[in-house]
Amino acid sequence: MPLSPQAQAIVDDFGREPGVTPEHVTNLQGVLAASPVLLDQFNDAVAKQRVLSLKPLTDPNAGGTFTPNENSIRLPLSRLSNGHGGKLLDSGDMTFVLGHELQHAMYSPNAAASRKTFETAAAQIAKTTHDYSDAAEKVLASNRVDEASAEIAGWNAIVSRVNQSNPHASLEDIYREAPGRMHDFIDRTGGMPQFNYALKSNLTLNADMTMPVTPANVEAMGANFFDKDAKSTRIGYTGQSDYANHYGPWVVGTAAIYERHYNKPKPGDPEQPMILDMQRLGLKEEVLERNGIDLGSDTRPMPYLDSSTQPPTPGLFQHSKNTHLHVSPITARELEQELRERDPQLPGSSAQLLPSDPGHVDHSLYQQIRDGVQKLDAQHGRQWDASSQRMTASLLALAKEEGLS
């Protein structure tokens, strides 16, 4: 079956994108034609308007991406370029990537519905418990199903390609077609000249080597792919993220926006922290911030409590959408010193004091914020400690930036 007229038009439009050459287009068409399953996937995604365009990919840490708000698949031009022999070097890998991204496109309505469900829950949570852990777990579980299903689609696209030339293909044949992708499906043991190939024990195949999209296989690929550690996954802005923290910034940023919308503190009072079980969710503040958290129009750091420890551990999420930097927490003493240095015109005696010291011009505001933090600590069974001091000093710094006194 050839490309549909609509699908061919999208390929033609891709050829007019900046940087795309006739060589890239020819190789893309060759990849599609070599795998009947992939060709059917592409035609179907276009017919259902899940894919509206193809564009070049600039992210060096991704093999391909699907952009939901554009219904666009982005492909790395380097993978569509010929090698020294005049042939496409990564045709198997590109087959897998296209199959994977096309499945993301097909799943996109489900993903959008999961995000909407989270937002609905967040509006209620912000008014009540402030604990977003369960709602976050559900939307991340949807992301996990999305990635696992996309992996299965990539496998089936590869099997279709291999079966074109070898209807009785073995696991070794499939592995060799896209070795960089197959280690999540196939265990290779032994060494040269004799390797052994075995399907991972948590997966099942049909007689023709295709993989059915069963709940068991989806769960297995969630474990084999989505759950891999950052060292094995290497995605995100700096290539140092796993999948939970790749999707986590949206969860954190959205929760923060709802929390602030429904909980506006009085001047001088500490901001209501949101609660997340970071360990259960597999989230890490540092990785989330490096991937880029968007806190919306209010870019002040967002306080949170990590309920995976008892008592919960306080922290701050930074707005890092543009910087992709993790700001390490500093001691309360350092923060207070910074505040003192901001006010060089203070009277002589006061200039030698810190906000926590009686007699400092900001001591009253400091004490007001400290009382509020102590109340929050008490609500969550915490004793006053260094984290509480740092939170107080951080909130005082923010209050001073807003001109409070």
Beta bridge partners of 196: 189
Of 93, 113, 97, 59, the C-alpha closest to 246 is 59
Confidence of residue 72 (pLDDT cuts 50, 70, 90): very high
Other Cβ atoms less than 10 A from the Cβ of 380: the count is 15
Average confidence (pLDDT) over 336-346: 53
What are the sequence ranges of the domains in the chain?
A: 5-227, 233-328, 331-405
Of 346, 343, 321, 148, the C-alpha closest to 228 is 148
User: Using an 8 Å Cβ cutoff, are 307 and 385 in contact?
Assistant: no
Question: Tokens 């609660």 belong to which residue?
Answer: 275
**Residue 129 vs residues 124, 135, 152: alpha-carbon distances, Å:** 8, 12, 38
- For residue 337, with 0-12 CB atoms within 10 Å meaning exposed, 13-18 middle and 19 or more buried, which class applies? middle
For residue range 96-112, what is the model confidence (pLDDT) as tens digits?
999 999 999 999 999 99
Average confidence (pLDDT) over 41-64: 92
For residue range 147-160, what is the model confidence (pLDDT) as tens digits?
999 999 999 999 99
Average confidence (pLDDT) over 37-61: 94
Say yes or no to pLDDT of 347 above 60. Answer: no
Say yes or no to pLDDT of 14 above 70. Answer: yes
Q: Residue 352's pLDDT is what?
A: 62
- For residue 378, with 0-12 CB atoms within 10 Å meaning exposed, 13-18 middle and 19 or more buried, which class applies? exposed
The residue type of 120 is T
Pairwise CA distance, residues 405 & 403, whole Å: 7
For residue range 228-261, what is the model confidence (pLDDT) as tens digits?
999 999 998 888 899 999 999 999 999 999 999 9
Average confidence (pLDDT) over 27-44: 97
pTM for the complete prediction? 0.82
Q: State the average pLDDT for the chain.
A: 88
User: Using an 8 Å Cβ cutoff, are 27 and 80 in contact?
Assistant: yes
Pairwise CA distance, residues 145 & 137, whole Å: 12
Rg over CA atoms, the chain: 26
